Structures are given as structure tokens and as C-alpha cells.
Structure 1
Amino acid sequence: MAKDGKRQLDHAVDDLEHEVPGKAKRFIEWARSDRARWVRIPLALTLIAVGIVAPYLPVVGVEDIPFGLLLLSYDVPFLRKPMAAFIEWLIGLWRRLRGKRPHRRS
């Protein structure tokens, strides 16, 4: 069951990588790696805390909570399926707004 959530999250983030520019894509690839775990967990907790404590700030705020949860989902199995579904929903919304056809996996 945990492997199913990991697989769903990996597919969702693979789709996300197709939609973002080069530097963001490189950051996502690095953040998904095992060597980034010691940075990923504190960064995720910091983003979530900032989003809760200061939701009204323009640069950091409530929009940091989903980013923190996404980073944390690589290390917390019960977050994987909901975050995968959220990412797929966002990508579908982005593609509909841009009038782009869905990316097909082989």
C-alpha cells in the first residue's frame, strides 16, 4: 500500500516536472533525491510553520503550506496519495487554462 502511494506521487511529480522551467525542474529533481532528505524535512516544516503563523505576508504565507506538504510527503507515507491527487488536479487545471492537451504516460 505504501509503495502504491509512492508510485502515485512519483508519477504526479514527473508530470509536474514537464510543466516547470529548467531551474525549477532541477530543484524538484534534487529535492526528490535521498541525499536531500536532511534539507527537505526541515525546509518542509519551516514552510508549513510560516504558512500557519504568517498567512498574510505577500512573499511567504499561506501558499507555502502546499509546498511544505509536498516536500514532507516524500518522507511521510500517509501524505503521498493526497498530495499526488492534489498535484494532478493542479496540473489538470493548469493545462485546461493554457488550452494544452494532457501529457500521456507510456
Structure 2
Amino acid sequence: MATDGKQKLDHAVDKLEREVPGKARRFLEWARSDKARWVRIPLALLLIAVGLFLPYLPILGVEDIIIGLLLLSYDIPFLRKPMAAFVEWAVKLWRRIRR
């Protein structure tokens, strides 16, 4: 069951990687790797905290909560399915807007 959520998340993030530019794609590839776990968890918690306490900043804001949850979902199984669904929705919305 846990692998089902991981597969869905991996599939959704694969779609996301195809939509983002080079540097963001490389960051996503690195962040998904097992060797990035010790950086991924503190970075995710930091992004969530910044998004909660400084939501009005133009570069660091509410969107950081989403990025933090996405990073954290690789290490917390119950977040995988909801984040996979959100990423799928966001990619579909992005493709619709881009057309």
C-alpha cells in the first residue's frame, strides 16, 4: 500500500519534471534521491515555516508551504497520495493555461 502512494507520487513528479526548466528539473531529480534525505527534510520544514510565518513575501511565501509538503511527502507516507493528486492537478492546470 505504501508503494502505491510512492508510485503515484513518482509518476506525478515525473510529469512535473517534464514541465519545469532545467535547473528546477535537476533540483527535483536530486531532491528525490535517497542521498538527499538529510537535506530534504530540514529544507522542507524550513520552507513550510517560512510559508506559514512570512506568507506576504513576494519570493518566499505561501507557495513555499506546497513545495515543502512535496519534499516532505517523500519521507512521510500519508502525504504521498494527496501530494500526488495535487501535483497531477497542478500540471493539468499549467498545461491548460499554457495552451
Normalised by the shorter chain, which TM-score bucket? over 0.9
Superposition deviation, residue 61 in structure 1: 1.4
- Give the aligned residue type for 1:23: K
Superposition deviation, residue 58 in structure 1: 1.4
SS in structure 2 at match of 1:60: coil
- Give the aligned residue type for 1:85: A
- Give the aligned residue type for 1:10: D
Counterpart CA distance in 2 for 1:26 and 1:90 is 19
1:98 aligns with 2:98: yes
Counterpart CA distance in 1 for 2:93 and 2:43 is 27
- Which protein has the larger Cα radius of gyration, Structure 1 or Structure 2? 1
- Give the aligned residue type for 1:12: A
Counterparts of residues 1-106 of structure 1 (less than 5 Å): 1-99=1-99
Q: Which is helix-richer, 1 or 2?
A: 2
Query: Gapped runs of 5+ residues in structure 2?
Result: none
SS in structure 2 at match of 1:81: helix
The TM-score normalised by the length of structure 1 is 0.91
Provide, for residues 50-83 of structure 1, a one-character-per-residue CA deviation record: whole Å limited to 9, x for no partner.
1111111112111100000000000000000000
Superposition deviation, residue 87 in structure 1: 0.2
